């Protein structure tokens, strides 16, 4: 038996296969990995009529970690409730692997601060983490349609809330070790309206005394959406339920102006394999053109090394290399669009537009430095 970590690779649809292939090249510079490539999403629907087969789910459960590209595309868009949808593959994996904690760090790369839709003085210093509950709430509650009436049910148990609250408090503690800041958790709910939110707030408050070094505050979700735009740099860890987390994590991602840069990790119980994927989608409009931005997947591989394989030094090396390449001026078209118009400034290297392969070569070269 080899010691090489077993990674199930799910390239998915659209640009997924391109960015995942680039990431395999990156990982291979850190030694050997046993990659097991499988179908998920639209490509699996085409082949098997379902977005996630039992066989693929079993392979994922038995792996050391799972690396995912992206799923979906117009080919499989449908409102027919009976037709299979690529997203069902993702939701099936989350539930089937017990991945209840989704971590989405938002830290604009210093070289890209100018791409933010916010003024530089607002976005400067932003470094936050969205901890989203991923296997409960309205995503997985009872739903149905009866003629002109439809329903989706939001349900949470205290146990589900407690474990995600602990994930958030522990993440805040870990982040403080490197930042030196007092750790803070902001719990987001809609306790003025929803019973599940009142239970949420109560349980988070009950867990908090176990982490008395971590400051805790509560925000209503509408207020949180507003504060994220007006004072993003004041947030540390945000913990929230599934649907609110879906919305707030996209909002947080856009703060940086570079959705193409953001990684994520979905984690389950201690020791169980995690799932690592970029936050952006499958970008079918640019698939196959060799211009997809592989950086969010590289950073997801870094999260895999850190959270999934306990190889934090290699994770930091990838993050540093990505920052260095951006500082050097390299931009895939999605990043260039927002910033190329900036007039050249002294001491700032000119921006160069590159494709997936050149960007990958540049990160590999920066790693070798």
Could you list the active site residues? 139, 190, 222, 246, 250
Per CB under 6 A, 224 contacts ligand IPM: no
Task: Give the one residue of 64, 246, 323, 361 binding Mg ion; rule: CB under 5 A.
Answer: 246
Task: Give the one residue of 36, 37, 64, 87 binding ligand IPM; rule: CB under 6 A.
Answer: 87
Piece of the chain touching Mg ion by CB under 5 A; list 57-65, 93-101, 246-254, 300-308 = 246-254
Residue 304 DSSP class: I
Residue 292 β-bridge partners = none
Question: Coil, strand or helix: which one is 341?
Answer: coil
Piece of the chain touching ligand IPM by CB under 6 A; list 42-50, 87-95, 162-170, 360-368 = 87-95
- Work out how close the CB of 344 gets to ligand IPM at its nearest, in angstroms, rounded to a whole number: 37
Residue 87 or 358 with smaller CB distance to ligand IPM:
87
- Work out how close the CB of 8 gets to Mg ion at its nearest, in angstroms, rounded to a whole number: 22
Task: Give the one residue of 90, 101, 237, 296 binding ligand IPM; rule: CB under 6 A.
Answer: 90
- Work out how close the CB of 247 gets to ligand IPM at its nearest, in angstroms, rounded to a whole number: 9
Residue 111 or 262 with smaller CB distance to ligand IPM:
262
* Direct distance between the N- and C-terminal alpha carbons of the chain, in angstroms, rounded to an integer: 33
Residue 29 or 78 with smaller CB distance to ligand IPM:
78
Q: How far is CA 175 from CA 172, 183, 211, 315, in A?
A: 5, 7, 14, 15
Question: What residues contact 243, with CB distance under 8 A and at least 6 apart?
Answer: 137, 138, 139, 154
Q: Which of 175, 286, 194, 303 is nearest to 240 (CA)?
A: 194
Contact 215, 185 (CB under 8 A): yes
Q: Which of 29, 102, 12 is nearest to 298 (CA)?
A: 29
- Work out how close the CB of 242 gets to Mg ion at its nearest, in angstroms, rounded to a whole number: 10
| Parallel/antiparallel/unpaired status of strands 65-70 and 101-106 | unpaired
In the complex, which residues of this chain contact ligand IPM (CB under 6 A)? Answer: 87, 90-91, 246
């Amino acid at each position: 038996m080899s010691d090489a970590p077993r990674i199930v690779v799910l390239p998915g649809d659209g640009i997924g296969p391109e960015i995942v292939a680039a990431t395999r090249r990156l990982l291979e510079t850190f030694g050997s990995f046993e990659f097991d490539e499988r179908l998920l999403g639209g490509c699996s629907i085409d082949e098997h009529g379902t977005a996630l087969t039992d066989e693929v789910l079993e392979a994922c459960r038995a792996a050391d970690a799972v690396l995912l590209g992206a799923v979906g595309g117009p080919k499989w868009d449908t409102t027919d409730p009976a037709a299979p949808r690529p997203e069902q593959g993702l939701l099936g994996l989350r539930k089937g692997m017990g991945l209840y904690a989704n971590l989405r760090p938002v830290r604009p790369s210093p070289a890209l601060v100018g791409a933010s839709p916010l003024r530089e003085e607002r976005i400067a210093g932003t470094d936050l983490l969205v901890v989203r509950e991923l296997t409960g709430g309205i995503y997985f509650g009872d739903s149905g349609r009866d003629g002109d009436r439809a329903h989706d049910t939001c349900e949470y148990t205290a146990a589900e809330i407690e474990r995600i609250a602990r994930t958030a408090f522990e993440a805040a503690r870990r982040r403080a070790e490197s930042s030196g800041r007092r750790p803070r958790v902001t719990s987001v709910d809609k306790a003025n309206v929803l019973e599940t939110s009142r239970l949420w707030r109560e349980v988070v408050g009950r867990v908090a005394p176990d982490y008395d070094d971590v400051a805790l505050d509560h925000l209503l979700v509408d207020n949180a959406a507003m504060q994220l735009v007006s004072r993003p740099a004041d947030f540390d860890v945000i913990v929230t339920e599934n649907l609110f987390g879906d919305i707030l994590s996209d909002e947080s991602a856009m703060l940086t102006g570079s959705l193409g840069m953001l990684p994520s990790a979905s984690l389950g119980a201690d020791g169980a394999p995690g799932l690592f994927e970029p936050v952006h989608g499958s970008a079918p409009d640019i698939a196959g053109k060799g211009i997809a931005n592989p950086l969010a997947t590289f950073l997801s591989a870094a999260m895999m090394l850190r959270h999934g394989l306990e190889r934090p030094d290699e994770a930091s090396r990838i993050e540093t290399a990505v920052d260095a390449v951006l500082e050097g001026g390299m931009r895939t078209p999605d990043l260039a669009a927002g910033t190329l118009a900036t007039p050249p400034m002294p001491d700032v290297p000119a921006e160069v537009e590159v494709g997936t392969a050149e960007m990958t070569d540049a990160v590999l070269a920066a790693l070798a430095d």
